[in-house]
Chains A and B, each alone.
Chain A
Amino acid sequence: GAVVSQHPSWVICKSGTSVKIECRSLDFQATTMFWYRQFPKQSLMLMATSNEGSKATYEQGVEKDKFLINHASLTLSTLTVTSAHPEDSSFYICSASKASGYEQYFGPGTRLTVT
């Protein structure tokens, strides 16, 4: 139980375009989902926290207009990188939690490369 999937697993896009990444909880309802970014050989940095049906809370330094997060259902959250630039190339990982205070279950990650 507690499986989280991400789609796509990797994506290449051109600079200036937008790309959407999906995060799904497959066998549980996730009231809270988290989005992390990981640069090569670095640790995970929390970008934002989203609760189903409400606006996401972004960490300091993360542009909310650039990284659009939608958590419209209890099993799906999406991260859209708008007007992507090469510096946005990174490994994006989501996690899902049944409720605030519960354990986070992590997805397999999405490798984004912006050319």
Chain B
Amino acid sequence: KQEVTQIPAALSVPEGENLVLNCSFTDSAIYNLQWFRQDPGKGLTSLLLIQSSQREQTSGRLNASLDKSSGRSTLYIAASQPGDSATYLCAVRAAGNMLTFGGGTRLMVKP
């Protein structure tokens, strides 16, 4: 059974810092890995999707990497802003289209 773990569970940083969120998964037989953002009481916003054959994806200040063999992914946020405060979820997709989510990292960026 696939298990997804995110570290840290919570993170508070001052504005402007670069930061790294970590995601690990137990079964490397995945099709892709996706990073989402969730604001309190809201749904999910997809940030980046990395196919199993890819090593990284970039969108603006966000960069996600994938090391499938070691079961790890990182989300790098450059020059963090207060508007980046949210919960960040990673999810892996295995056979059958099923997504398995990690527990999330709650990020607070202080002005």
Contacts and interface: CB of A to CB of B under 8 A. Distances in A.
Interface of A: 6, 32, 34, 42-46, 49, 91, 93, 95, 97, 100-109, 111
B46 interface: yes
Interface range on chain B: under 10, 10 to 19, 20 to 34, or 35 or more? 20 to 34
B43 A93 contact: yes
A11 B67 CA distance: 42
Among B89, B98, B99: residue with most chain A CB under 10 A: B99
B79 to A, nearest CB: 27
B98 A106 contact: no
Contacts of A93: 43-44
A106 B97 contact: no
B43 A103 contact: no
Contacts of B46: 103, 105-106
B15 to A, nearest CB: 24
Contacts of B43: 6, 93, 106-109
Contacts of B41: 91, 109, 111
B98 A43 contact: no
